[in-house]
Amino acid sequence: RKTYWIGCREIAWLPLPLLLSSCCLSILLANNNDSTDMVTILTLPSAAEEDETEVYAKLSAPVIASVEPVGKWFALHHSRKLRHNSSTDNSELSEDNGEESSDVEIEHDIDYLRSLDPKDWKNQDHYAVLGLRFLRNKASDDVIKKAYRKIVLRHHPDKRRNAGENVLDTDDDYFSCITKAFETLGNVAKRRAFDSIDPEFDNAIPSSNNITKESFFELFTDVFDQNSRWSLKQPVPKLGDMSTDMNDVDSFYSFWYNFDSWREFSYLDEEEKEKGENREERRWIEKQNKSARLKRKKEEMTRIRQLVDNAYNSDPRIQKFKDDEKQKKLAYKKARQDAVKAKAAEEEKIRLEALEAERKIKQKEEEEARAQLEANRKAKDIVKKALKKERKALRTLCKEKKYYMKNDSELVKHMAELDKLCELLSLESLESMNKQLVNCDDATGRMHFLKRIADLNKELDKEKEQLFATTQKTSCNNTTTSQKNQWPHDDMQLLIKAVNLFPAGTNERWEVVAGYINQHSVTGITRNAKEVLVKAKELKKLDSTLKDEVNKQAYNKFEKKLQKPVVAVKEESAISERFDCPAEQHGLNLAPWTPEEQRLLEQALKTYPSSTVDRWDRIAESLPGRSKKDCMKRYKDLVEMVRAKKAVQQNAVKTKQ
C-alpha cells in the first residue's frame, strides 16, 4: 500500500494559543509579532514507518497572503480593543449559531431622548432611540432585543427615580418612546414600514448634466448601492467600471429598468384603521390610506426610473458601445460595398473579356465569310467563263455544221433550240455535248443534237406538270379556306339572332353563339367562337352598302316566308317604272354615294318637301355631280332599305314572342 501526501495551505483566524494547540503544525510563518493578527500555516503530515513515500514534485514556496479581517472573531477582538480589555477567555464567544456577540455597543444620546415628544412618536428615529443609529437597517433582531434590554435597564423610570431624577408621568416620559421604538423595530412588518421611510436615507439622485467619465462611477455607484436595499430580488448587480462587459452592462440596466421594490409607505398613514368606530369608517380610512400609499409608490418608481435614465444617459460605456456598434456597422457596410464593387468589377471584366472574345470570333467569321465569298466569286467567274467558252464552242460548232439541218425550214427551229440548250444546260452537260459533237460525223452529230433537244424538252414538260399540280393543290386549299371564311346569308341571320338571344353578360357567350349557329346552320360549315367574334365585329363595322345588302336579303326572305309580296305605298314623289330599266340605258351615275353626298341629299329632302314644284330638279341642283335620276334612284333605294329593316325588326319581335 502506498500513501501519497500533497502539501496544502490553510489560512486561520484563530488566536495564537489555539493555533499552538494544533497537532498538525510543521511550519509557522507570522506576519508580525501581534499574536492576534493573521498568520499563514503550511502543513504537511508525515508518513508512518510502514508506509512508502514517493516524491512526485517539490513543494512551492510559502506565500504570505493579505486578507481583510472579517467574522465574529475579529468583531470580538475589535470590541476588546475599544474596551481596552486584553482577556482571551473563549467564553465570550457566542455558542448560538451565527448570533452576534453578547456585548452590543449602543450610543446613549440622552439629550436626544429627552428632546423627544411621546405624542409625536411617529417622527422619531427609532434606531437612534435604541442607540443603533450607526447600524440602522443592518442591525439583526437579536441586536435590537439586546439593545432594548440595555437601554431599558439604564433609562427605566424606577431606576431613574432611585437615582434622584425627576420623572414625569409614564405617558409623558421619553421612556414611552423607547417602548414605541421596540414595538416598531421588534415587529417585522412594522420595521419594514419604518425602514421604507428611513429619515436618514437620501432619496436624491444625481443629475445627468456635467458628468465626466471619471465622476460618473464615483457618483452613481454609491447611489445604486444605497437603493439596492429596496430590491426584492437579491443579489443586485453592480454598476461596474469601464472594463465591464457589454452584456453585464445590459443586464445591469435591464434589472434596474424592471426594478421590483418592496418599499411601502404604510408608516405615513395619517389615520390608523383600528381607530374607526365602525366597519364603514374603517373601510373609508383603509381606502384613503391605500390611495396615498399608491401615490407615493408611483413617485418612488418615478424616482428610480429617473435615476436609471440619468445613469444610462451619462454612462460613458453606453456611448462607447454605441460608437463601437456604429463602427462595426460601418465596417460591415463598407466591406459589403467593397464586396459588391469587387463583384461588379469582376463581372465587368468577365463581360469585357466575353465581348472581346465574341468580337474576335465575329471578326474571324466575317473574314472567313469574305474569304468564302471571294472564293465563291472566283469559282463563279471560272464557271461563268467556262460556260461562256463552252457555249461559244457549241454555237461555233453548230454554225459550222449548219445547225444540223436537212432543209432550210429547220434552220429557225434549230437555232431557237440551240439558244435554249446554251441557256439551260449545265457546264458538265455542255462539255459532254461538245465532246460528242466534235468526235462524230454530221449524221451522228445531228442525232446527238436532236436527242439532247428532246431530252431537254421532256425535262421542261415534266417540271411544268409538277408546277401545275402544286398550283392546283394550293388553289384548292385557298378555295376551301375562302369558302370557310365566307358567311352565307342564312349564317349571318343566325349570327344576328344568336347575338340578340344571348346578350352581353352570358357565361361563355361566344361559345354559346357558335354552338347555336352550328346547330341551326344548313351549310355544314362548323364555326368556332373566335370566327363568330370576328364576324360579329365586322358586322358592327359594316359600311352602309353592305348593311343595305343584308337588309335587302332579310326583306326578300321575309317576303318569301309570307308567300305574298309586300305592296309598297306609292308616294307622290315615287320613281316611275321607266327608271326600273338598267342604269346604263338611262345615263345613271353608278359611282358609290359618298357620306358628303348622302348628307347633302338628306338636307335637300328636308329643304324641298313633296309639295315643292320641280322638287327633284331643285334637289339635283344641290348635289354637284348627281343628276335628277341619280337622286330619285338613291331615294328609292333608301325607302326600300328602311322598309326592309322595319320588316326584319318586326319578324325578330315575333320570333322572341
DSSP codes of every residue in 625-649 = T--HHHHHHHHHHHHHHHHHHHHHH
* Domain presence at residue 458: yes
* Domain presence at residue 506: yes
* Domain presence at residue 298: yes
Which parts of the chain sit beneath pLDDT 70?
1-49, 53, 55-56, 68, 72, 83-104, 169-170, 270-276, 475-485, 542-587, 648-649, 651-657
Residues 466 and 505 in one domain: no
Single-letter code of the amino acid located at 465: E
Helix (H) or strand (E) holding 30: strand 27-30
Domain that holds residue 460: 387-474
Q: Are 554 and 648 in contact (CB under 8 A)?
A: yes
**What's the CATH code of the domain at 610?**
1.10.10.60
* Domain presence at residue 372: no
Last residue of a domain, one of 501, 526, 542: 542
Residues 219 and 280 in one domain: yes
Last residue of a domain, one of 137, 161, 196: 196
How far apart, in whole angstroms, are the C-alpha atoms of residue 15 and residue 88? 9
Residues 126 and 178 in one domain: yes
How far apart, in whole angstroms, are the C-alpha atoms of residue 36 and residue 74? 9
Q: Are 448 and 440 in contact (CB under 8 A)?
A: yes
- Which residue is it, cell 465575329? 362
Last residue of a domain, one of 542, 563, 586: 542
Residues 221 and 289 in one domain: yes
* Domain presence at residue 563: no
* Domain presence at residue 320: no
Residues 464 and 393 in one domain: yes
How far apart, in whole angstroms, are the C-alpha atoms of residue 256 and residue 276? 40
Q: Quick check: pTM over 0.75?
A: no
Residues 469 and 523 in one domain: no
DSSP codes of every residue in 334-347 = HHHHHHHHHHHHHH
Determine the 3-state secondary structure of 407 from DSSP. coil
* Domain presence at residue 442: yes
Residues 237 and 183 in one domain: no
The side-by-side arrangement of strands in the sheet containing 27-30 is: 8-12, 39-43, 27-30
* Domain presence at residue 601: yes
The residues near 404 (Cβ < 8 Å, ≥ 6 apart) are 398, 414, 442, 445, 446, 449, 450
Domain total of the chain: 5
**What's the CATH code of the domain at 534?**
1.10.10
The residues near 478 (Cβ < 8 Å, ≥ 6 apart) are none
